[in-house]
Amino acid sequence: MNLEKAINIEDMHRAAKRRLPRIAFDFIEGGLEDEHGLSRNIEGFLRHRLVPRYLVDVDRIDQTASLFGRTYASPFGIGPTGLAALFRPGADLMLAEAARDANIPFVMSGTSTASIEALAKVAPEHGWYQLYGARDRKISEDLIRRTREAGLGTLMLTVDVPVSGKRERNIRNGLRRPMRMTASSYLEALCHPAWIVDYLRNGGTPMFENWKPYARPGASADEVADLVGQQTPASDQTWRDFENFRRLWPRRLAIKGIMHPADALRAIELGADGIVVSNHGGRQLDRSPSAVEGFPGIRHAVG
């Protein structure tokens, strides 16, 4: 499908499902366990209604929003999406360019397939970096150093992945470390030749560029992916690590994944500049409330 002909998000959804093999599509589409969290995220928005007020001059609309001392064109941004190049080669920087052109923020995933330094060249004023804390704290500290030296203005620490979630679609498809793809996944992928051509043309498994320096010299993309799996999630990460990151990072620091008002208050007390209320898209704790449900309590607590 030519995406220029898509008239809504569902059109794009169907186009993606046609193009991508199940192992890739399920990675984007799926939650974990029974996927109640995914359903709750959708239902949380559907429960809210928009009540219009009419006979108001709307000839000129101003959607600008100020955040962290910068004015953006709209109160929206592009959140972090891991392994984006598996779905479309070069996707990370395409998203960064789109955010720059639309004048909205873009958050590079901690498991991106482009580097912090490349992001800084493409979208220096709009690019943020998402930090997943590593078991080896020196890796985390070096990622912060690189983000600082690249000149990016905002670091976003994601804290809602203390352990790996049981993403059952990925397990069934064999998308885990080490890779254990099933025969049916291989056969199903053959039904998506355009994706396979792109995948092979671009070298197969995408490289986690930001993690490459911490692997052995000449490590393959699979070896680097194994390193990421060994280093994250850091189940021993605590508020003490957050305090250390705050000391190392001199610019705007956001914390992503907060759902409890008490955690929000503590984050602010320890120097967070912003909070992202998030249940990780329903991909980490299936019984967690949706972000829409959690937001009012946190807003009430911290203002």
pLDDT confidence of residue 179: 67
Q: Crossing angle for the helix pair 291-302 and 36-46, nearest 10 degrees?
A: 70
Mean pLDDT of 31-50: 94
Calpha distance 68→276 (Å, rounded): 13
Mean pLDDT of 133-154: 98
Q: Which of 98-107, 113-122, 183-192 has the lowest mean pLDDT?
A: 183-192
Supply 292's token pair: 């829409």
Calpha distance 64→247 (Å, rounded): 32
| 126 among known catalytic residues | no
Mean pLDDT of 184-196: 89
Calpha distance 300→80 (Å, rounded): 26
The answer on pLDDT for 181 being more than 80 is: no
What predicted TM-score, i.e. pTM, was given to this entire model? 0.94
Question: What residues contact residue 121 under an 8 Å CB cut-off, 6+ apart?
Answer: none
Q: pLDDT tens across 234-277, in order?
A: 999 999 999 999 999 999 999 999 999 999 999 999 999 999 99
At 176, the pLDDT band (50, 70, 90 cuts) reads: confident
Mean pLDDT of 116-139: 98
Query: Given 13, 48, 126, 280, which residue is catalytic?
Result: 280
pLDDT confidence of residue 67: 96
Beta bridge partners of 108: 129
pLDDT confidence of residue 1: 62
Q: pLDDT tens across 57-107, in order?
A: 999 999 999 999 999 999 999 999 999 999 999 999 999 999 999 999 999
Give me the amino acid identity at 227: L
For the chain, what percent of residues have pLDDT higher than 70?
98
